[in-house]
Amino acid sequence: MNLKKLTRKNVRELKPYQTARDEFKGLATIFLDANENPFPSAFNRYPDPHQSTLKKEIAAIKGVASKQLILGNGSDEIIDLLLRAFCDPGVDNVIIPQPTYGMYSVSAQINNIEIRQPLLNNNFQLNTESIFESIDSKTKLIFLCSPNNPSGNLLEREAIESILERFEGLVIIDEAYIDFSSEPGWLNALTIRPNLFIIQTLSKAWGLAGLRIGLGFGGEEVIQILSRIKPPYNINSASQKEVMNILDNPNAREKYIELNRVERAKMESRLASLPFVKRIFPSEANFLLIKVDNAMECYRHLIEDKIVVRDRSTLPLCENCLRVTIGTPEENSKIIESLLKFNTKKLP
Ligand SMILES: *Cc1c(COP(=O)(O)O)cnc(C)c1O
């Protein structure tokens, strides 16, 4: 991978914004350099733009170096940074195998980047041939999601290996759901694969969706480029502080992951007993994609019972499919109860 060729010219030549704290790094007691309100309160000072303490802690937990990590205001910001760093609007293109998480396409459209969308196969696995056919000299990024949203499955390792091997741009693997999976994911391959970039998030297994913390892992030089263009204060002080507290206590997260595993298996077998459920796709995440005989009817019935799931019917390969998040044991019992009622209602 030729990183210089991959990076947009204006980004390569950019002189990044210097914050007050970037310009002065020594010890001082009086800070009159950032036009802050001088009277102490919890939030009168700007946050650390480099998030050094937080990054050190997260990097240690993930077994990578701080220099291989960038934090975003949610993963969504990291997706946007990747597009803005590497793709020239109106010139370059990205590959997004479908169906998958919608934000890659939306972000590419906002940035006016052409999207190429080869289909996954019937098991929601990569069709490497159609991906290779979509690549040309203007292809900068390939977005993969594993476990995939909305299908829930891990993408096969060999297929990803072959793409990493042959593609000269960045291969992005979104591992938002990796904590729920039985397999370890791709972080271990980071040092041997310079064109690998991994996205994770604290929004799912960590239970911190409201704090907006996305994690980007890549080679040191790729991380440097993204750091140059990120908004300086993209992670606010409250989030930086609160995350530190939660990282210190991993027990709640471990408990949730285990509960999800048990409840997911229970939901699979209960759903399988419903005649109108035609298929339950195997999941390594905290949701199940199910094919029913009439998704819209089923969705509306659930809404009448004040239960909301995601109707994914309009996505390719997802005809009559609903995506159901695994909830608390009580919530899961409630949705099954409601679906049993729906079943009876349907009987002539
Ligand atoms: C939920 C989700 C995310 C998380 O996005 P945040 O902006 O970090 O909350 C990222 N990728 C996928 C595939 C998701 O489903």
Give the Å distance between the CA of 202 and the centre of ligand 1.
9
Query: What ligand 1 atom has the least distance to the C-alpha of 148?
Result: 13
pLDDT above 90 (res 21): no
Q: Is the CB of 244 under 6 A from ligand 1?
A: no
pLDDT above 80 (res 347): no
Q: Is the CB of 77 under 6 A from ligand 1?
A: no
Contact criterion met (CB below 8 Å) for 302 and 294: no
Give the Å distance between the CA of 210 and the centre of ligand 1.
12
What value does the mean pLDDT take over residues 247-275? 95
What value does the mean pLDDT take over residues 102-128? 98
Predicted pLDDT of residue 27: 87
Rounded CA separation 243/117 (Å): 36
Rounded CA separation 20/25 (Å): 9
Predicted pLDDT of residue 344: 87
Kindly list the distances between the CA atom of residue 135 and the CA atoms of 88, 138, 166, in Å, as whole numbers in the listed order: 16, 8, 10
Q: Is the CB of 149 under 6 A from ligand 1?
A: yes
Predicted pLDDT of residue 291: 98
pLDDT above 80 (res 14): yes
Within the chain, residue ranges assigned H as helices are 3-6, 9-12, 20-23, 52-62, 75-86, 103-110, 128-134, 157-166, 220-229, 237-247, 251-272, 295-304, 329-346
Give the Å distance between the CA of 291 and the centre of ligand 1.
23
Reported pTM: 0.97
pLDDT band at 348 (very low <50, low <70, confident <90, very high): low
CA dihedral 227, 228, 230, 234 (to 10 degrees): 70
Q: Is the CB of 174 under 6 A from ligand 1?
A: yes
The proportion of the chain whose per-residue pLDDT surpasses 70, expressed as a percent, equals 99
Taking only the tens place, the pLDDT of each residue in 35-87 is 999 999 999 999 999 999 999 999 999 999 999 999 999 999 999 999 999 99
Taking only the tens place, the pLDDT of each residue in 220-238 is 999 999 999 999 999 999 9
pLDDT above 80 (res 147): yes
Predicted pLDDT of residue 26: 84
Give the Å distance between the CA of 204 and the centre of ligand 1.
8
What value does the mean pLDDT take over residues 138-154? 98
- Residue written as token pair 């690549």: 135
Kindly list the distances between the CA atom of residue 41 and the CA atoms of 38, 45, 72, 163, 333, in Å, as whole numbers in the listed order: 9, 8, 25, 51, 46
Predicted pLDDT of residue 178: 98
pLDDT band at 105 (very low <50, low <70, confident <90, very high): very high
Mean of the per-residue pLDDT values of the chain: 96
Q: Is the CB of 99 under 6 A from ligand 1?
A: no
